[in-house]
Amino acid sequence: MSVTEILFYSLSAMAIGSALLVILSKNPVHSVLWLIVTFVAISGHYILLNAQFLGIVNMIVYAGAIMVLFLFVIMLMNLSTHKEAKKNKWLQMAGVLSGGLLLLVIVASLKGAEQATLVAQTNEGSIGLLENLGKTLFTDYVIPFEIASVLFLSAMVGAVVLGKKTETTKS
């Protein structure tokens, strides 16, 4: 087995194991932390597939920003296992039924799907490289890129102006 295959299987095991722990954890904070581990493993898969940009963006946006937001929401809601609400049997049965139906739809869609015969390129090719994205962004799309940067700058200035507290003068 090559190093790439070992990394693939270890990242896959990490992603599946941490995804199961997201579901099985009783503490919501632990579930969020296991979800971050899942996103890190998926980012590792992107990097193995030579899509560095997607891997880095996945780490920054999902594992960074969105998970911090989830963690703050859970902390502000003050959820704990001690204050867990009484579970309704009908809601549990509806959840099991809908999960079973979702599994049935997934199995039916995969049954009719054709198996791919192409192998993913790892450590080869130039698709997904940051160098190609930069060249395209600064040659073919330089005007839209600069317009977007001016719009983002004006939005930041507007947010600072709106967020600034005005001082009231006493006469």
Question: What is the distance between the alpha carbons of residues 46 and 62, in angstroms, rounded to a whole number?
Answer: 14
- Same domain? 66 vs 134: no
Q: Is the per-residue pLDDT at 15 higher than 80?
A: yes
Structure tokens at 93: 């049965």
- Of residues 59 and 123, the one with the higher pLDDT is 59
Give the residue numbers spanning the domain of 67: 1-81
Q: What is the DSSP string of 23-88?
A: HH-SSHHHHHHHHHHHHHHHHHHHHHTT-HHHHHHIIIIIIIIIHHHHHHHHHHHT--STTPPPPP
HSE, CB side, 13 Å, CA atoms: give it for residue 85.
Answer: 5
Structure tokens at 148: 């977007």
Mean pLDDT of 116-126: 62
Give residue-wise pLDDT tens across range 23-77: 999 888 888 889 999 999 999 999 998 888 888 888 888 888 888 888 788 777 7
Q: Is residue 135 part of a domain?
A: yes
Residue 52 near residue 128 (C-beta atoms within 8 A): yes
Mean pLDDT of 70-99: 76
Q: Is residue 66 part of a domain?
A: yes
- Mean pLDDT, the chain, as a whole number? 82
- Same domain? 73 vs 138: no
- Same domain? 75 vs 13: yes
Q: Is residue 25 part of a domain?
A: yes
Supply the CATH number for residue 75's domain: 1.20.120.1200
| Total domain count, the chain | 2
Tokens 């317009």 correspond to 147
- Residue 60's φ and ψ, nearest 5 degrees, are -70, -50
Q: Is residue 91 part of a domain?
A: no
pTM value? 0.58
> Any idea of the CA torsion for 112, 113, 115, 116, to the nearest 10 degrees?
170
Q: Is residue 77 part of a domain?
A: yes
Q: Is the per-residue pLDDT at 128 higher than 80?
A: no
Q: Is residue 98 part of a domain?
A: no
